[in-house]
Amino acid sequence: MRRRAGVGAIQKQKLELEKYKEKGTEIQENQFQQMSKQLEVFRENLEEFAAKHKSEIKKNAQFRRQFQEMCAAIGVDPLASGKGFWSVLGIGDFYYELGVQIVEVCMATNYKNGGLITLEELRTRLIASRGKAKKLQDITNEDLLAAVKKLKIFGNGFTTVSVGKGKWLVQSVPGELNLDQTQVLQAASALGTASVSVSKLVEDLSWTESRAQTALNHMVREGLAWVDSQAGETLYWFPSMFSGCVSAA
């Protein structure tokens, strides 16, 4: 008959397990401390790099994107910091200023597009409205997306809507688009005509006529779509997608 382990053996085994646990915790703490020190060194080097290349970061879009990637790699967001080194450096000011200009462009075009504007048109108008010195700065779509993201602190009045691979609309009116309305915009973008019909939505999205009509009616009421009843079947046009529909200010 097999003998059961004695009380002394059980206590010894328990002590050994506790020692292993303590050793494991000690190793983890040491590794964490080493990683923290490395990150602090990276952060200091990043600050030195940013101070040295401040002008280039603001003027060169590709350089700015690479700098943002370096920041993200070590968990630093210079745009979210309003105090300390990053505030003195002024990198975040570039995006805050860009955000103000985005608001101005969107407000000036709301009455024509219902509060939706393509990222491309927004960029064209914004560049045209900037002063001579500012026009030397290369503004990319990534810059605009980053600036709009910062505007979300004011509520849901400003947001972005994806309408296809690499295609975005900027929404500048309160109220989020629901999934059906977003799919309508995506369908219009995919067609490349800036317009859709009920039958086309039924065909492309496998919707019922009622579902398609409900989504379109809501977008018409919100000023996001225009109705054209002169072409046989009613078409719904989206002014935010018109190519060159409005000349830049």
Q: Going by DSSP bridges, is the β-strand pair 159-164/167-171 parallel, antiparallel, or unpaired? A: antiparallel
* Token digits of residue 139: 């503004």
91-149: pLDDT as tens digits? 567 777 888 888 889 888 888 888 899 999 999 998 888 766 555 567 888 889 888 88
Q: Tell me if domain 81-176 and domain 177-249 are identical in fold.
A: yes
Residue of 106, 166, 100 whose CA lies nearest to 134: 100
The least confident of 23-27, 80-84, 102-106, 210-214 is: 80-84
Contacts of 91 (CB under 8 A, 6+ apart): 50, 54, 57, 58, 78, 79
Indicate the pLDDT class of residue 88, thresholds 50, 70 and 90.
very low
Predicted local distance difference test score (pLDDT) of residue 2: 54
Where do the structural domains in the chain lie, given as residue ranges?
11-80, 81-176, 177-249
The whole-angstrom separation of Cα 50 and Cα 155 is 31
> Are residues 102 and 122 in contact, defined by beta-carbon separation less than 8 angstroms?
yes
DSSP 8-state secondary structure symbol assigned to residue 166: T
The whole-angstrom separation of Cα 105 and Cα 148 is 12
What does residue 185 show for φ and ψ, rounded to 5 degrees?
-65, -40
* Token digits of residue 29: 């703490």
> Are residues 127 and 75 in contact, defined by beta-carbon separation less than 8 angstroms?
no
Predicted local distance difference test score (pLDDT) of residue 185: 92
The topology (CATH level 3) of 177-249 is: Arc Repressor Mutant, subunit A (1.10.10)
Top-level CATH class of 81-176? mainly alpha
